[in-house]
């Protein structure tokens, strides 16, 4: 059997309700030269039986059955079994646009330097989607080019996991998936970025992302805000804040204070707060002075922007541009 | 003031044209439509419905049009030989537009029953053709009632289904005794033609 152009990697546990629709969306791709590696992670609800009959009907499906070991082992064993140089991730409850594989493969052909190509996504069912998820969808869908993605890497996870296609070799070289106290996909994106990967997003909506109450993003302990913050601090202390024992935080609100605590646990202290609230300017918080933004001009130092209010990040970036402060050097947006 | 538009053709049968526009004399069936917010034929789902409709045998059919909007699908069905249409739309302004377009197309008042509301206001199981050009999640929600309104052997033409809902819509209607005859996948939306088999 010849090597397919794309391997689709789909881990599943107990999702007989949605899996047929997800797999049907792969089977009706305009690109037909693919293999689908499904890792059945200890299903007990009929998923296993359904997969067996689906694999008998379509030889492009390969099923790896394992006891319930968890998502990360499932992803790694599936990744190992992928035969194609390009791997498209897929989840059991999502729907791929019929041109998804073709479009992403084409992006790799046109830009051979790419390591990972995501796509725009759209949540469904639409009527139940909350404002925060819609804002996230809109935010990440706008990050198209590598530079934009890279400079927003610490703001939020810039990719929806089942929307990505990546070079298998690059992910394996980066260490594959790791079980950490934070989300395994965000952990991978940052490691790929650190290793010099080139990112891109197809602006077309190629993945429909199903929202439901039991979705992992909502329920898993490694997907909480605390877990994401811990992940960011972990990687920042090895990159932007490497060898730093002190940092300036812009934003002395609740989020800023949570950041101060997480940084302190990593051995990095806040030596200055930047605030625009006149009531806070001049005070001391956790022993560090609260200063107005102009203080950054006279005393520049590595600064993390922790202001989460909608629109504030762009305002701060505009202000920093006017004052010739360089993102990634003088400051970094982390919320 | 309503925006004017140029006449255009859909499939082998239809020509959409604005009021006061003189159509050429040819084999095409003219659908005279105000341009409005509820679809005068430009949208891919409406186009798809009209293309599927032109191949259906619907002489003397009783039609239910759920989410009728401007009424374009009912008007087309009536011009193709259907006997009567029940047009249902939740928007009062859509019902007004539908009524106005029916008059423009010389559809007799007695031939169309306009309902402003939801499917709950429709009684009976007598419909030979069901047209529903509405969102996929709504089609899933109303599947039971819509299938109840369809007589055995009737045709259901469902459209306005975003890609992500296509599988779930087909699945749900199959669970309610329908068989998929055609599944048309468009750029962003899809249309499904079904037959109620029991």
CATH assignment of A6-222, given 3.90.550.10, 3.40.640.10, 3.65.10.10, 3.40.50.720?
Answer: 3.90.550.10
Written as one string, the DSSP assignment of A73-136 is HHHHHHHHH--SSEEEE--TT-EE-TTHHHHHHHHHHH-TT-SEEEEEEEEESGGG--HHHHHH
Q: What angle do CA B33, B37, B39 make, to 5 degrees?
A: 50
pLDDT band with cut points at 50, 70 and 90 for residue B187: confident
Mean of the per-residue pLDDT values of chain A: 95
Give the contacts of A82 (CB within 8 A, at least 6 positions apart): A7, A9, A35, A37, A168
pLDDT band with cut points at 50, 70 and 90 for residue B1: very low
| Residue of B164, B166, B170, B184 to mutate, testing the A interface (most A Cβ within 10 Å of its Cβ) | B164
First-to-last alpha carbon distance for chain B, in angstroms, is 48
pLDDT per position as a tens digit, A137-194 = 999 999 999 999 999 999 999 999 999 999 999 999 999 999 999 999 999 999 999 9
Q: What local confidence, expressed as pLDDT, does residue B4 receive? A: 72
pLDDT band with cut points at 50, 70 and 90 for residue A217: low
CATH superfamily of B39-196: Vaccinia Virus protein VP39 (3.40.50.150)
Pairwise pLDDT comparison (A301 vs A248), residue with the higher score: A248
**Number of helices followed by number of strands (H, E) in chain A:** 13, 14
* Residues listed for chain A: 335
First-to-last alpha carbon distance for chain A, in angstroms, is 48
Q: What local confidence, expressed as pLDDT, does residue B71 receive? A: 95
Number of other CB atoms surrounding residue B30 within 10 Å: 16
Domain residue spans in chain A?
6-222, 225-333
Domain residue spans in chain B?
39-196
| Cβ A243 vs Cβ A273: under 8 Å | no
- CA closest to B170 among chain A residues: A21
Q: Which positions 16-35 of A are in contact with B (Cβ < 8 Å)? A: 20-21, 24-25, 28
pLDDT per position as a tens digit, B104-163 = 999 999 999 999 999 999 988 889 999 999 999 999 999 999 999 999 999 999 999 999
Q: Is a pLDDT exceeding 60 seen at residue B38?
A: no
Q: What local confidence, expressed as pLDDT, does residue B39 receive? A: 55
| CATH no. for A225-333 | 3.40.50.720
| Residue of A92, A93, A95, A120 to mutate, testing the B interface (most B Cβ within 10 Å of its Cβ) | A95
- β strands within chain B, DSSP E: 8-10, 14-17, 29-32, 62-66, 84-89, 112-116, 127-133, 150-162, 178-185, 189-196
- CA closest to A22 among chain B residues: B167
Q: Do B167 and A208 make contact, defined as CB atoms within 8 angstroms?
A: no
Q: What local confidence, expressed as pLDDT, does residue A188 receive? A: 98
Q: What local confidence, expressed as pLDDT, does residue A222 receive? A: 84
**B94 SS3 class:** helix
**B156 SS3 class:** strand
């Amino acid at each position: 059997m010849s090597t397919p152009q794309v391997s689709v990697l789909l881990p599943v546990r107990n999702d007989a309700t949605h899996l047929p629709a997800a797999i049907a969306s792969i089977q009706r791709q305009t690109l037909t030269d693919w293999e689908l590696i499904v890792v059945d992670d200890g299903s007990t609800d009929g998923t296993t039986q359904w997969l067996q009959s689906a694999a008998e009907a379509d030889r492009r499906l390969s099923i790896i059955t394992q006891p319930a070991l968890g998502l990360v082992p499932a992803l790694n064993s599936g990744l190992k079994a992928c035969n194609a140089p390009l791997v498209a991730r897929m989840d059991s409850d999502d729907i791929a646009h019929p041109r998804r594989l073709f479009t992403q493969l084409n992006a790799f052909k046109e830009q051979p330097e790419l390591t990972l190509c995501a796509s725009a996504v759209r949540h469904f069912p639409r009527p139940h989607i909350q404002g925060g998820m819609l804002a996230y969808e809109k935010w990440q869908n706008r990050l198209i080019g590598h530079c934009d993605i890279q400079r927003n890497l610490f703001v939020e996870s810039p990719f929806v996991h089942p929307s990505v296609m990546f070079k298998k070799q690059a992910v394996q070289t980066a260490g594959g998936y790791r079980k950490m106290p934070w989300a395994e996909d965000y952990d991978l994106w940052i490691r790929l970025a650190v290793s010099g990967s080139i990112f891109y997003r197809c602006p077309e909506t190629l993945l429909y992302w199903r929202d439901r109450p039991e979705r992992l993003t909502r329920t898993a302990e490694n997907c909480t805000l605390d877990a994401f913050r811990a992940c960011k601090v972990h990687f920042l202390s090895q990159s932007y804040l490497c060898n730093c024992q002190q940092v300036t935080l812009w934003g002395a609100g609740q989020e800023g204070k949570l950041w101060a605590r997480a940084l302190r646990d990593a051995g990095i202290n806040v030596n200055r707060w930047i605030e625009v609230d006149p009531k806070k300017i001049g005070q001391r918080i956790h022993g560090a002075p609260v200063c107005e933004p102009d203080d950054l001009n006279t005393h520049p130092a590595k600064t993390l922007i922790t202001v989460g209010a909608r629109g504030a990040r762009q305002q701060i970036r505009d202000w920093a541009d006017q004052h010739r402060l360089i993102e990634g050097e003088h400051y970094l947006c982390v919320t | 003031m309503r925006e004017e538009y140029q006449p255009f053709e859909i499939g082998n049968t239809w020509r959409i044209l604005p009021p006061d526009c003189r159509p050429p004399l040819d084999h095409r069936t003219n659908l005279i439509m105000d341009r409005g917010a509820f679809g005068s034929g430009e949208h891919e789902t409406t186009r798809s419905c009209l293309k599927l409709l032109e191949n259906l045998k619907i002489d003397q059919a009783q039609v239910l049009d759920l989410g009728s909007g401007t009424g374009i699908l009912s008007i087309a069905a009536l011009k193709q030989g259907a006997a009567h249409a029940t047009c249902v739309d939740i928007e009062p302004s859509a019902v007004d537009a539908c009524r106005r377009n029916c008059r423009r197309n010389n559809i007799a008042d007695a031939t169309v029953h306009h309902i402003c509301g939801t499917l709950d206001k429709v009684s009976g199981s007598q419909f030979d053709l069901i047209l529903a050009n509405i969102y996929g999640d709504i089609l899933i929600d109303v599947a039971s009632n819509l299938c109840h309104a369809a007589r055995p052997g009737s045709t259901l033409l469902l459209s306005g289904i975003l890609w992500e809902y296509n599988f779930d819509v087909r699945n749900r209607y199959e669970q309610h005794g329908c068989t998929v005859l055609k599944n048309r996948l468009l750029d962003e939306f899809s249309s499904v033609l079904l037959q109620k088999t029991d």
